[in-house]
Amino acid sequence: MGVPMLPPIAKVVPKPMSVHGDTRVDDYFWLRDRNDPDTIAYLKAENQHTAEKLRHTEPLQKQLYDEMLGRIQQTDAEVPLKREDYYYYARTEEGKQYQIFCRRHGSEDGPEEILLDGNVMGEGKEYFRVGSFAVSPNHKLLAYSVDFTGDETYTIRVKNLETGELLPDEIPNTYYTLEWANDNATFFYTVLDAALRPYQVWRHHLGAGENILVYHETDERFTVEINRTRSEAFVLICSDSPVTSEVRALDANDANGEFIPILPRVQDIEYEVTHHSDSSGPGTRPAGSWFIRTNDGAKTFRVVTAPVANPSKENWKEVLSAREGVTIESITAFREYMVTEERNKGLVEVRVRHLPTGAEHMIAFPEPAYSLEIGPMAEFDTKILRYRYTSLVTPMSVFDYDMETRAAELKKQQAVLGGYDPSQYQSERVYVTAASQPKADGAPGAPVQVPVSIVYKKGFVRNGQAPLLLYGYGSYGISIDATFAPERLSLLDRGWAFAIAHIRGGSDVGRLWQDDGKMLQKRHTFTDFIACAEYLIANKYTSPKRLAINGRSAGGLLMGAVINLRPDLFGAVVAGVPFVDSLNTALDSTLPLTIGEYEEFGNPADPKFYHYMKSYAPYENVEAKEYPAMLITAGLNDPRVSYWEPAKWTAKLRRMKTDDNILLLKTNMGSGHFGASGRYEHLKETALEYAFLLDLMKETA
């Protein structure tokens, strides 16, 4: 089959729009109309084209899928999460797509009780995902939510765990977070506005005919979520924009009470709270202190305490000060301990403070690059800190750390079947010099050192002949730390290297790293990635024709920007649900996420932001030149990056590019931003992407 017919340029062309003196016409605007039969026909034609072009790789796809599946312990269970006398966990069974949610009473060896079976609930559905999962304080009721389309709009249901009965309570159009009050009859949840922004918090009494609005976030930059303190004393409403936050607290014993702000909202001031008290649990009157992590007076954050009765600034007491080069990323309070996650030189460190004595120690981690995450935990009166640790060569490992004895117990390590031996693989961390934009006075910006994490199988030869997959993201302050992926072994065992570029725009090197890759510094994200690619080529890890790159969502924005800037550096691109029509999206405030992203990318109503965003927006900057081979994916129901962004980008690339390199668009017609929901279908998607890359690199060998 040849190239699919290009969508007609002039089918539905909006009136020319003048923005800051720049006249704009979007040739492929009509693809935004999913109700137009021609739109669906075009997406299906692209899918057929992709299938035909990759048909010869189907045996390789099957081989890769079998390899990946063969490394997974298909029947498996999580480490149980202790909450009072119950142990909650999820498990999987061989041949079944979805998790089964369970608990045991009394001990980890008690009789199993199945709470939800995702395989029963998702049977016959093209897509299925559980969102909220909240058990009532008395463990008798389960409030949960489900999504059957991938648009991340969830419906809440309630199950009586004593009888197995599904209660008549049903609430549509909700988002992820949900928390119970201590009366075991009331919970709070968030709903979505027309732009799919979680903007309201509602109170639901079981069996009540009418729900009650308790908070409405009117500022469209902000989203809301519900949390509950580990002490069980408070339910929290957290209202956040990219640079400002506000927290409201409700006594969890007073289900009909009012949520009161802990600290007033101040533009550009962020804070989060954790509650500490000498007494805790349902029925306990709230007292004690707030531990507050804030950037008020500290760009990289500090920790203060304040009494619950009056947490205003005049009552603050600093307990952990800000330090240059170290960002405090989270804070957790237990009865006797305070735990902070801190990012230092690109790596997470954990500080443990014994509150009665003030004694502190750090938890050490052995590898040059790794990922660490505190939790999950439900207990407040405990000396055990649970964390999850992984690296490029170490499978995900769950540890219980005794904060008193400082001993770590490995509770479970992800099983990798097929004889995986981590000693046969090598990881390293290198630093790449990248330039910064000139300062406002024209002086050159200071160069920075961008970390790159690399892994390969021992025996890898740096002669410029090996294929390498370079991954990047670089937005929203999201850190892409070094993690293990068993499917990646299918590349490493074939002589590939894999690398992560920890570029500005993420928080990989701390908060200031994020700030230096957003707004009018956004181009640093792209130039950092290019500098990393140049380093890997110059140091003979790979060569341009053997260098493949991958990014999803805002990482897809990265992919589109760097191939416009330096298409000669890359041999292949996999762009997942890419945010490539970024300027047009920013100009349409009715779309999901747009207004909230003004503090990440800038508001194009301001001419300086408009022209800066236009200078790098991938769709705007497609030119008549050669581009690498590309596989682009989309989700028809995606609420984060609308399907038309990758579709329009593909259409424009088809019309403009001057090379014969393969260009493929694959739209999942029944899912959203995260692709297939079933674990086996997800593996098939990965196998297809790997087959695309392996087939290309075979031709360039």
> In the numeric block, which tokens belong to residue 618?
């991938």
> In the numeric block, which tokens belong to residue 603?
């508001």
- 571 and 700 in contact (C-beta within 8 Å)? yes
- 393 and 462 in contact (C-beta within 8 Å)? no
N residues, the chain: 701
- 174 and 157 in contact (C-beta within 8 Å)? no
Side chain identity at residue 517, one-letter code = G
DSSP 5: P
DSSP 139: S
Q: What span, in angstroms and rounded, lies between the C-alpha atoms of 509 and 492?
A: 27
Residue 427 backbone phi and psi in degrees, to 5: -115, 150
Q: Which candidate, 621, 612, 521, places its Cα nearest to that of 567?
A: 621
Element (H, E) at 518: none
- Angular region, 14: left φ>0, alpha ψ -120 to 50, beta rest: beta
Q: Which candidate, 64, 72, 67, places its Cα nearest to that of 417?
A: 72
Residue 598 backbone phi and psi in degrees, to 5: -60, -30
557: which residues sit within 8 A by CB, 6+ positions away? 475, 551, 578, 579, 580, 582, 618
DSSP for 481-499 reads -----GGGHHHHTTT-EEE
Neighbour tally for 497: CB within 10 Å: 24
468: which residues sit within 8 A by CB, 6+ positions away? 496, 497, 498, 499, 536, 541, 542, 546, 547, 548
Q: Which candidate, 407, 622, 395, 602, places its Cα nearest to that of 518?
A: 602
> In the numeric block, which tokens belong to residue 206?
């079981």
Q: What span, in angstroms and rounded, lies between the C-alpha atoms of 93 and 79?
A: 16
Residue 207 backbone phi and psi in degrees, to 5: 85, -10
Residue 451 backbone phi and psi in degrees, to 5: -70, 145
Residue 686 backbone phi and psi in degrees, to 5: -65, -40
Q: Which candidate, 511, 437, 446, 432, places its Cα nearest to that of 476?
A: 511
Q: What span, in angstroms and rounded, lies between the C-alpha atoms of 552 and 152?
A: 17
Pairing state between β 547-552 and 572-576 = parallel
Burial bucket for residue 267 (CB in 10 Å: 0-12, 13-18, 19+):
exposed
Q: What span, in angstroms and rounded, lies between the C-alpha atoms of 130 and 139?
A: 19
DSSP for 442-457 reads SPPPPPEEEEEEEEEE
Q: What span, in angstroms and rounded, lies between the C-alpha atoms of 309 and 316?
A: 12
521: which residues sit within 8 A by CB, 6+ positions away? 437, 504, 515
Residues annotated as catalytic are 553, 638, 673
